[in-house]
């Protein structure tokens, strides 16, 4: 039986992937690592070097900015349309959402919203809805970080819209957190971050930078964000981080925009695994309007299904839910999703009945019904020590999802019971 030799383009891809995975490598290391004829591999390395996709460094061959771009190139040409997005500007859901992202809510999100400002203004971004902007001082960012560390986190991520707009204050915040809390610190920001600020952040002890991956080509970037701005800067920042040994990690940005094929969305999200080999969590979100939910919910099953099918089994897929209008479309794709992160928490009017929250309470309810048999709401509330009003909404939600049923005013365990 003969195995066919890899084509030139396949070999190129393997060499680029090996460099993305292991970092700078010598010719010999590449020949050992990449499957294929050693002579052909060596020739391909020379060709990639001559085309400017690789460059020799004192640590071996490394990917250039062009090399990173080539690694992310789509498998085929897609047709994109840059369609406008109109977000709802008023209403209780939008108000609740703005309270959370402006830090005015009791509900705190996992990451720190250090500023609501951004210099990109992507067309889908809900930070475009903010009128009175909020910027935290370095001391306030430290305080937010301290709360999270006291709650058990060993890592804090300074996010927002784009915290690099805070300039020197961001550097000071990173320094303060590293000095006083000694935890891992990441910054999630936009691609227009200046490289001299990156240098200062790196010196301050920043552990990694997190960027949204909004497009593999200029056309895709423009269709997703609504503008070309940021595309070149993105790749410059990626190349800078690799050159200077600062870890750079990516989130999948948004999917489900009008004008973008579902396959292109799924492929773009999956490209992150090529840029960050070994990544175990893939985060991407549907484009969501806090008042109306995902803009194109009908696209989501296909996009999420494609990502799930093609991602390795051990990769966790994660999306955020930003309002009660979003839970149903996300619930519809739950078989493809491992985790839904709740943005509103107690600010959400659906909180007590939401399928993505209250997991511990649901488990306690199921345990109680399984072990003690059917019981009414009053009895359950007494046993679990929760208010009847909150419990009732959670029970109705569980009933709707087929976890429990009501018989003669008493709740019974449904699954396997
Ligand atoms: S409570 Fe549920 S519906 Fe509300 S924002 Fe959180 S996850 Fe979404």
pLDDT band at 1 (very low <50, low <70, confident <90, very high): very low
Q: How far is the centre of ligand 1, averaged over its atoms, from the C-alpha of 326 (Å)?
A: 8
Give residue 417's pLDDT.
Answer: 42
Distance 328 CA to ligand 1 centre (A): 10
Closest ligand 1 atom number to CA of residue 322: 5
Question: Ligand 1 centroid to 162 CA: how many Å?
Answer: 24
85: pLDDT confidence band, cut at 50, 70 and 90? very high
pTM for the whole structure: 0.91
Q: What is the residue with the minimal CA distance to atom 3 of ligand 1?
A: 324
Name the band, by pLDDT with cuts 50, 70 and 90, for residue 7. Answer: low
Kindly report the protein residue whose alpha carbon is nearest to atom 6 of ligand 1.
342
Instruction: Name the pLDDT band for 3 (thresholds 50, 70, 90).
Output: very low
Give the Cα separation of 375 and 408 in Å (integer). Answer: 10
What is the tens place of the pLDDT at every residue in 41-62?
999 999 999 999 999 999 999 9
| Residue nearest ligand 1's atom 5 by CA | 323
- Residue 107 banded pLDDT, cuts 50, 70, 90: low
Whole-number Å distance between alpha carbons of 304 and 255: 9
Rounded CA separation 89/74 (Å): 35
**Mean per-residue pLDDT, 148-162:** 93
CB 87 within 8 A of CB 265: no
Q: Which residue of 285, 348, 358, 362 sits with most ligand 1 atoms within 8 Å of its CB, as the best mutation to test the pocket? A: 348
As a whole number, the mean pLDDT across the chain is 94
- How far, in Å, is the centroid of ligand 1 from the Cα of 171? 33
Residue nearest to atom 1 of ligand 1 (CA): 351
* pLDDT score, position 86: 94
Averaged pLDDT, 309-319: 96
Tell me, in angstroms, the distance from the centre of ligand 1 to residue 253's CA.
19
User: How far is C-alpha 38 from the geometric centre of its chain's CA atoms?
Assistant: 38
Index of the ligand 1 atom closest to the CA of residue 351: 1
Say how many CA atoms lie within 13 Å of 239 toward its Cβ.
19
Instruction: Give the distance (Å) from ligand 1 centre to CA of residue 267.
Output: 27
DSSP symbol at 7: P
User: Residue 211 Cα, ligand 1 centroid: separation in angstroms?
Assistant: 25
Work out the average pLDDT over 148-156: 92
CB 358 within 8 A of CB 348: no
Q: Is residue 9 predicted with pLDDT exceeding 90?
A: no
Name which of 218, 317, 216, 193 is nearest 263 in CA terms.
Answer: 216
Mean local confidence (pLDDT), 8-31: 93
By DSSP bridging, strand 410-413 and strand 404-407 are antiparallel
User: Percent of the chain scored above 90 by pLDDT?
Assistant: 90
From ligand 1's centre to the CA of 108, what distance in Å?
13
> What residues have CB less than 8 Å from 30, skipping those under 6 apart?
15, 18, 19, 41, 45, 61
Closest to 237 in 3D by CA, of 266, 271, 208: 208
What domains are defined for the chain? 8-71 (1.10.10.10), 92-349 (3.20.20.70), 359-413 (1.10.10.10)
Query: Best substitution site from 357, 390, 394 to test ligand 1's pocket, by max atoms within 8 Å of Cβ?
Result: 357
Dist. CA 68 → ligand 1 center (Å): 37
Give the number of the atom of ligand 1 that is nearest the alpha carbon of residue 327.
3
pLDDT at residue 220, as a whole number: 97
pLDDT in tens, 178-228: 999 999 999 999 999 999 999 999 999 999 999 999 999 999 999 999 999
Choose the weakest-confidence range: 110-114, 171-175, 274-278, 280-284: 110-114
Give the per-residue pLDDT at 111.
Answer: 81
Tens of pLDDT along 266-312? 999 999 999 999 899 999 999 999 999 999 999 999 999 999 999 99
CB-CB neighbours of 46 under 10 Å: 11
pLDDT band at 348 (very low <50, low <70, confident <90, very high): very high
Helices (H), 245-376: 262-275, 300-310, 324-332, 359-372
Residues with CB under 6 A from ligand 1: 321, 323-324, 326-327, 340, 342-344, 348, 350-351, 354, 356-357
Long-range contacts of 34-40 (CB under 8 A, 24+ apart): 35/6, 36/5, 36/6, 36/11, 37/5, 40/5, 40/11
Query: What's the rounded mean pLDDT across residues 368-374?
Result: 95
Q: In terms of residues, how long is the chain?
A: 417
DSSP 142-182: HHHHHHHHHTT-SEEEEESS-GGGGTHHHHHHHHHHHHHH-
Distances from the Cα of 153 to the Cα of 57, 100, 184, 251, 400, angstroms? 38, 20, 10, 20, 34
Based on the number of CB atoms within 10 Å of its own CB, is 103 exposed (0-12), middle (13-18) or buried (19 or more)? Answer: middle
> Cα-flanking dihedrals φ and ψ of residue 254, to 5°?
-115, 150
8 Å CB contact between 256 and 286: yes
């Amino acid at each position: 039986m003969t195995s066919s030799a890899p084509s030139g383009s396949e070999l190129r891809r393997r060499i680029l992937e090996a460099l993305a995975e292991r970092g700078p490598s010598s010719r010999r290391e590449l020949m050992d690592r990449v499957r294929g004829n050693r002579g052909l591999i060596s020739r391909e390395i020379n060709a990639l070097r001559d085309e400017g996709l690789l460059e020799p460094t004192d640590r071996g061959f490394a990917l250039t900015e062009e090399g990173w771009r080539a690694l992310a190139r789509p498998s085929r040409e897609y047709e994109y349309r840059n369609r406008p997005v109109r977000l709802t500007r008023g209403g209780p859901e939008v108000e609740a959402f703005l309270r959370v992202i402006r830090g005015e809510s009791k509900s705190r999100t996992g990451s720190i919203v250090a500023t609501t400002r951004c210099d990109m203004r992507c067309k889908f971004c809900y930070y475009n809805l903010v009128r009175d902007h909020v910027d935290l001082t370095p001391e306030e960012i430290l305080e937010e970080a301290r709360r999270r560390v006291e709650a058990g986190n060993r890592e804090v991520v300074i996010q927002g819209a784009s915290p690099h707009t805070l300039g020197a204050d961001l550097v000071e915040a990173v320094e303060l957190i590293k000095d006083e809390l000694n935890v891992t610190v990441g910054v999630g920001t936009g691609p227009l971050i200046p490289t001299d600020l990156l240098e200062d952040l790196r010196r301050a002890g920043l552990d990694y930078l997190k960027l949204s991956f909004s497009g593999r080509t200029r056309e895709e970037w423009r269709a997703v964000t609504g503008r070309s701005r940021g595309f070149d800067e993105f790749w410059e920042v990626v190349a800078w981080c690799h050159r200077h040994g600062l870890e750079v990690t990516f989130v999948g940005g948004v999917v489900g925009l009008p004008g973008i094929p579902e396959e292109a969305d799924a492929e773009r999200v999956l490209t992150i695994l090529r840029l960050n080999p070994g990544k175990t969590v893939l985060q991407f979100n549907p484009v969501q309007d806090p008042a109306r939910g995902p803009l194109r919910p009908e696209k989501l099953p296909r996009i999420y299904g494609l990502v799930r099918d093609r991602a390795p089994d051990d990769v966790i897929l994660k999306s955020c839910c930003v309002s009660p209008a979003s839970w149903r479309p996300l619930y519809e794709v739950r078989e493809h999703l491992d985790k839904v992160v709740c943005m509103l928490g107690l600010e959400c009017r659906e909180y007590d009945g939401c399928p993505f929250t209250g997991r511990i309470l649901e488990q306690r309810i199921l345990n109680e019904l399984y072990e003690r048999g059917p019981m009414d709401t009053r009895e359950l509330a007494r046993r679990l020590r929760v208010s009847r009003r909150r419990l009732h909404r959670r029970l109705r939600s569980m009933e709707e999802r087929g976890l429990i049923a009501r018989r003669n005013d008493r709740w019974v365990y449904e699954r396997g019971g």
